[in-house]
Amino acid sequence: MKTRILLGLLLAGFSSYAQNTTEQYFKLTRAGFKENNAYETTAFVEKYFRVPGNTGFNASIRNVESILKKAGFVEQRQNEFEAPLTYRIEKRAMKNKTWEPVNANIVIIGETQPLISYKTNRNMIPINCASTPAEGVTAEVVYIEKIVPAELEKMDLKGKILFSENSPSRLVATAIKAGAVGVLGYSMP
């Protein structure tokens, strides 16, 4: 009986110690947390499309680095014991070139405003898509509700843009094989 009580007290002591430590860390971080800093950081990084190695990714890393430096952190050269507050930025050679979207618009002939623009919707361009020629592309848009790859391959889409409410990444290879110059898609995950 005494062993059970002692064991129970030990477990209760350990769990309360762990909770107190967590609370202490929360008190330390909450005192220094300023929501405006979080909003400013988010506002900065959301200006860019970010994938490793591109302009937006690198600018975002440098922005966070400058915040750390202002807070007293120093860049780690050898190990984390060089200073009380250190940071390091991992660097690796890239196997492939990065992808850098520049701009995009879809305009319907006769309309004054673009249907969709990269400036207001960065999700309109699938990652790693090929560039459109500088002069743009004017083509008929063909809507296909149900995509059956075997049937799509038989269609004559030469010089046309395929539109379907499916993921464009699944359609590109088949549509191009059928002669399409582009693919538009809409798919909710």
Per-residue pLDDT of the chain (189 residues; tens, 9 = 90+): 555 555 555 555 555 555 568 888 888 888 888 899 999 999 999 988 899 999 999 999 999 999 999 999 999 988 888 888 999 999 899 998 898 888 889 998 999 999 889 888 887 887 778 888 889 899 999 998 877 777 787 888 999 999 888 777 778 888 888 899 988 887 655
pLDDT of residue 36: 92
pLDDT of residue 12: 59
pLDDT of residue 170: 75
Q: At what angle do helices 55-70 and 35-45 cross, to 10 degrees?
A: 160
pLDDT of residue 111: 92
Question: Cβ distance 103 to 119 under 8 Å?
Answer: yes
**Non-local CB neighbours of 30 within 8 Å, separated by 6+ positions:** none
Threshold 0.75, pTM exceeds: no
pLDDT of residue 49: 87
pLDDT of residue 2: 56
pLDDT of residue 89: 93
The 3-state secondary structure of 77-120, one letter per residue? CCCCCCCCCEECCCCCCCCCCCCCCCCCEECCCCCCCCCEECCC
**Non-local CB neighbours of 75 within 8 Å, separated by 6+ positions:** 65, 86, 87, 88, 89
* Cα end-to-end span (Å), the chain: 57
pLDDT of residue 19: 55
pLDDT of residue 119: 87
